[in-house]
Amino acid sequence: MILNRKYWYYRRKLLGLLGLPVYSEPLHLDIEPTIRCNLRCRICQVPKWNRTCPDLSLDSFKKILNSAPYLKSIKLQGMGEPLLNKDFFEMVKLARLRDIKVSMHTNGTLLSDLNIQNLIESQINEIAVSCDHYDPLILKNLRPGLNFESFSSGIMQLNKCASEIHVKAYSLLTLDLKENIERHLDFLLVCNFKEIVLQPDITDWGGNYPETSNSALSHEELKEIKERVKEWSEKNDGTTIVFQKSRYSQESPCPWPFHYSYITADLYVQPCSICTNPSIFNLGNLNHRNREFSGIWNRTAYFKFRDIFLNGKLPDFCRSCYAPVKGKP
Ligand code: SF4
């Protein structure tokens, strides 16, 4: 095992405050219920994969929970649409029984009355719904397969019925919104969202799919949009607008290698929610020799991965998550 002193210092500082041992598994996991999706979104990496994998089973989900005893929160979503997993609601209920906070991200196309009722009964804590454009044609072009009428009536129904759940709109700030961000925010207001998260960075998924980030705004365009959003929110002060943090930097490094992890539907342990294709990189599999999660989290491969960060370098697939440094490629 590689003993990087900086890592232990980092862990001790956080876990010591919580009274937990330094070897503790993460307090948060992203867990992928499925890689299947009913849409073929242009900004997503899944439509470009030729990877197949069964949905996460209830037994595998229980195994993950049992092997991470300190979990405080999970995001029950990965690369596919989580509501396609038939055991999704059971998984939420199991986690909630352990008092684990559960969030999910959905493409918003499967919000039938029954699914909304099941979400409420599962006691899920937080739901983020992808809502990238108010114009049906532009949205269908961004997210092929989407039916705008049922999508918009589903999100309105969710906002009407799920008052106990923290529901927010999650919107990619693409070039398509450059001219008419105000109309988009008006649409989200009509849909009754109380919180809107705007995401300026369109990921290229670790550099593997550069074309997905083609629709990102330039620095100047983003600056102008931020001003207009500020003006809009001054007129609509019942709505919270959050700009998602853009890039990591040396001063504000990526926390994933040290605090969080991502588990695929076929139980590969991945470094984060960007690098999720195990055939490109993975840190081990929970099915291999029936491994416990702690055996992977505290394994040499994970320490080597962390060492790259701690030694001031970056793995290739992390480069596009960091703001470019002047003078460096
Ligand atoms: S910097 Fe690396 S580990 Fe962190 S989110 Fe990006 S790809 Fe993942």
Edge-to-edge strand order for the sheet containing 126-130? 240-243, 195-199, 166-172, 126-130, 101-106, 73-76, 28-31, 260-263, 269-270
Ligand 1 pocket list (CB less than 6 A): 206, 248, 254, 256-257, 271-272, 274-275, 317-318, 321
Between 187 and 212, name the one with better pLDDT.
187
Condensed to tens digits (0 to 9), the pLDDT of residues 135-152 reads 999 999 999 999 999 999
Condensed to tens digits (0 to 9), the pLDDT of residues 59-113 reads 999 999 999 988 999 999 889 999 999 999 999 999 999 999 999 999 999 999 9
Range from 57-61, 163-167, 232-236 carrying the lowest mean pLDDT: 232-236
d(CA 247, CA 145): 30
How many A from CA of 256 to the centre of ligand 1? 7
Tell me how crowded residue 45 is: count the other CB atoms within 10 A of its CB.
18
Determine which residue's CA is closest to atom 4 belonging to ligand 1: 254
> Model-level pTM greater than 0.85?
yes
Supply the DSSP symbol for 174.
Answer: B
How many A from CA of 1 to the centre of ligand 1? 22
How many A from CA of 137 to the centre of ligand 1? 33
How many A from CA of 321 to the centre of ligand 1? 6
Condensed to tens digits (0 to 9), the pLDDT of residues 251-289 reads 888 989 988 999 999 999 999 999 999 999 999 999 987
Q: What is the model's pLDDT at position 244?
A: 87
Q: Is 13 exposed, middle or buried (0-12, 13-18, 19+ CB in 10 A)?
A: exposed
Q: What is the model's pLDDT at position 143?
A: 94
d(CA 96, CA 84): 20
